[in-house]
């Protein structure tokens, strides 16, 4: 949650190691943190607008722990506590990348007359990580899928394992 991240941020800012960073590094880090917070907020709003079947941030956001993903891959238990199918379980490394990918899919959605869409692409960089179904095998990936509903809101958005 944002409150937990704010507490973590305060702890990092207070650390002696952080005090030794130069001003440019400190400013860049602060800007990245603000960008992440804005992206996470926008994703949460999208998820709420899309309704109860939408879960990109809840199940695939960068706040999801690797242990939760491993549990999903082995048992089907989702990070939000719902028993589902045993599937590959992945998360985005940065919520800003997820938001960018969703916006790409929404642009295509708008250009194609507003039909529901399944958008699969390669980001050209590592954007996600996770575990293969029924396995503890870990993998990073550059590929992702976005599924939008008939109104253009995300049903889900997750990295795809190769």
Whole-angstrom distance, CA of residue 103 vs CA of residue 3: 26
Which one-letter DSSP state was computed for residue 77? B
52 phi/psi in degrees, rounded to 5: -65, -20
Instruction: Kindly report, residue by residue over 77-136, the tens digit of the pLDDT.
Output: 999 899 999 999 999 999 999 999 999 999 999 998 877 689 999 999 999 999 999 999
Q: What is the mean pLDDT of the chain?
A: 84
Q: Are strands 89-92 and 128-131 parallel, antiparallel or unpaired?
A: antiparallel
Alpha-carbon separation of residue 32 from 50, 88, 94 (angstroms): 27, 29, 10
Is pLDDT of 154 > 80? Answer: yes
pLDDT band at 44 (very low <50, low <70, confident <90, very high): confident
Residue-wise pLDDT for 8-17, tens only, equals 555 555 555 4
Query: Per-residue pLDDT tens for 27-41?
Result: 666 666 777 788 888
């Amino acid at each position: 949650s944002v409150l937990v991240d704010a507490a973590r941020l305060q702890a990092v800012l207070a650390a002696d190691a952080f005090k030794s960073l130069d001003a440019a590094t400190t400013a860049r880090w602060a800007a990245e943190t603000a960008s992440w917070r804005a992206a996470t907020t926008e994703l949460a709003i999208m998820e709420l607008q899309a309704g109860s079947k939408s879960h990109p941030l809840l199940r695939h956001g960068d706040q999801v722990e690797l242990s939760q993903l491993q549990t999903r891959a082995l048992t089907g238990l989702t990070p939000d506590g719902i028993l589902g199918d045993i599937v590959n379980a992945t998360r985005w490394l940065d919520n800003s990348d997820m938001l960018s990918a969703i916006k790409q899919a929404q642009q295509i959605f708008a250009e194609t007359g507003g039909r529901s869409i399944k958008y699969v692409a390669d980001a050209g960089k590592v954007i996600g990580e996770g575990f293969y179904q029924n396995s503890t095998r870990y993998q990073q990936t550059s590929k992702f899928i976005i599924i939008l509903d008939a109104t253009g809101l995300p049903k889900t958005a997750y990295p795809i394992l190769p």
